[in-house]
Amino acid sequence: MSLLETRRKRLMEAMKAENIDLLLLHGSAWRNDYLRYATDFGILEGEGLALVGRDGEVTLYLDDALEAERAGVELGGVRTEHVGDLVGDVGRIVERHGNRRVGAGPAAHLPYGLSRRSEELRLSDATALLDRLLIVKAEDELNAIRSAAHLADEGYDVFRRAAIAGREDFSMIAEIEAFFRANGADDNFMIIGVGGPEVRGMAPPMGKRLKEGDLVTTELTPCVDGYFVQICRTLVVGEPSEAQLRAFGVYHEAMVAGIDAVRPGVTAADVARAENDVFRRYGLGDYVTSEYTRVRGHGIGLFLDTRPQILEEVDMVIEEGMSLIVHPNTYHPEVGYMVLGDSLIVGADGAEVLTKTERRLFAVAQH
């Protein structure tokens, strides 16, 4: 059974359980996981809406003619149509379904022209149903994520060898992108940080040249068969200083504490607290706040950064079958921004860590 067939089967079962006759799913080039779950199509331009019947029939409507042409070539078992007025045309199609119960999602991204007509079109919010399927995955999906993790590790090895003093960050990233594309990655989300205490986070490349003593941070997030896996590591150009090594030890301890906390029944808050408590013990509690960092990890899958967000205020229960990254990425006042993170699958007894790259502060040659 293909990944799409596995997902489609789960989707039909969920629709039947919730007594939903028709699903209306939205996707765009930025956020496409809900749509891709049912269609297996990764949008590059424009937006799309899919109508999914409880009998398994799927029609994908796209507002970009070239995207519709590509979908027609790539997809099997999905009818594809190019429409000039995505919201209006699909709204009229939904109208023709009369009294059938229609679930729509994700509610936060549904075009306003449809969401404002929710009552008229008899749309109910199906986001929770879809989130459940996206967050707790089938074994076939987890196997796809395991395969993607190997590529993430290989990609970081390429990144590490590309980090040479005097080289621009643009050039490094071009090499990584070429590697991923040549090895079957559909996509890759990647940000980078280069420098010392002045660096507060990671961003797209800005033309910085690597120099001796720089911390070089990155998160690589390759996508294989629609599934993202992430790895976060930090390296130093030249020999690391005592301060850099000492700081890295805190990050390492925090990541291990977070991963060790992962098991079914705990909450995302429990995992975040395990990481943050390490920083607090070293007098660095201020640096796990929103002023210096975003999350202590997050879900991964058909989207690169999804629920649950690993934060102390998030009480979502961790369940077997989830896939996550744990990463205590934040600013350190003495040496600058550091990152360290591994992707994992939640098993019955705890975390199955997928990314295998050594957890150390890498040192690369200056020339």
Question: Which pair of structure tokens corresponds to residue 170?
Answer: 């643009």
Q: What's the rounded Cα separation, in Å, for the pair 21 and 9? A: 15
- CA geometry: angle at 355 spanning 349 and 357, to 5°? 130
Q: What's the rounded Cα separation, in Å, for the pair 294 and 310? A: 9
Integer angstrom CA distances of residue 120 from 95, 111, 161: 8, 15, 58
DSSP E strands: which ranges in 29-76?
47-53, 58-62
* Tens of pLDDT, residue by residue, the chain (367 residues): 799 999 999 999 999 999 999 999 999 999 999 999 999 999 999 999 999 998 899 999 999 999 999 999 999 889 999 999 999 999 999 999 877 899 999 999 999 999 999 999 999 999 999 999 999 999 999 999 999 999 999 999 999 999 999 999 999 999 999 999 999 998 999 999 999 999 999 999 999 999 999 999 999 999 999 999 999 999 999 999 999 999 999 999 999 999 999 999 999 999 999 999 999 999 999 999 999 999 999 999 999 999 999 999 999 999 999 999 999 999 999 999 999 999 999 999 999 999 999 999 999 876 6
Query: CB of 209 within 8 A of CB of 168?
Result: yes
Can you give the pLDDT at residue 328? 97
Query: CB of 277 within 8 A of CB of 270?
Result: no
Which of these, 94, 75, 72, 77, lies nearest to 26 by C-alpha position? 94
Question: Which pair of structure tokens corresponds to residue 299?
Answer: 């879900």
Can you give the pLDDT at residue 100? 85
Check whether residue 125 and residue 193 sit in a common domain: no
Domain extent, residue 47, equals 3-134
What SS3 state is found at 286? helix
Query: CB of 317 within 8 A of CB of 324?
Result: no
Can you give the pLDDT at residue 366? 66
Check whether residue 165 and residue 295 sit in a common domain: yes
- Per residue, the 3-state secondary structure of 159-172, as one string, reads HHHHCCCCCEHHHH
Can you give the pLDDT at residue 51? 97
Can you give the pLDDT at residue 76? 84
Which of these, 86, 73, 77, 78, lies nearest to 46 by C-alpha position? 86
Owner of token pair 């590490």: 160
Check whether residue 298 and residue 155 sit in a common domain: yes
Residues 6 or more apart in contact with residue 219 via CB below 8 angstroms: 189, 190, 191, 202, 230, 231, 232, 327, 329, 339, 341
Sign of CA dihedral 207, 336, 214, 232: negative
Can you give the pLDDT at residue 1? 74
Check whether residue 265 and residue 230 sit in a common domain: yes
Last residue of a domain, one of 134, 159, 180: 134
- CA geometry: angle at 349 spanning 346 and 355, to 5°? 45
Check whether residue 117 and residue 148 sit in a common domain: no
The CATH number for 253's domain is: 3.90.230.10
Owner of token pair 């997050």: 298
Please state the length of the chain. 367
For the residues of 96-122, what is the DSSP string, one character each? TTTT--EEEE-TTTS-HHHHTTHHHHT
Last residue of a domain, one of 90, 112, 134: 134
Can you give the pLDDT at residue 300? 98
Check whether residue 76 and residue 217 sit in a common domain: no
Q: What's the rounded Cα separation, in Å, for the pair 128 and 134? A: 10
What SS3 state is found at 82? strand
For the chain, how many structural domains are there in total?
Answer: 2
Can you give the pLDDT at residue 280? 98
152 alpha-carbon distance from chain centroid: 13
Check whether residue 160 and residue 271 sit in a common domain: yes
Check whether residue 261 and residue 299 sit in a common domain: yes
The CATH number for 46's domain is: 3.40.350.10
Check whether residue 235 and residue 294 sit in a common domain: yes
Last residue of a domain, one of 84, 99, 134: 134
Check whether residue 21 and residue 162 sit in a common domain: no
Check whether residue 87 and residue 106 sit in a common domain: yes
Check whether residue 279 and residue 160 sit in a common domain: yes
Say whether pTM exceeds 0.85.
Answer: yes
User: Pairing between strand 187-195 and 227-228?
Assistant: unpaired
Q: What's the rounded Cα separation, in Å, for the pair 241 and 97? A: 67
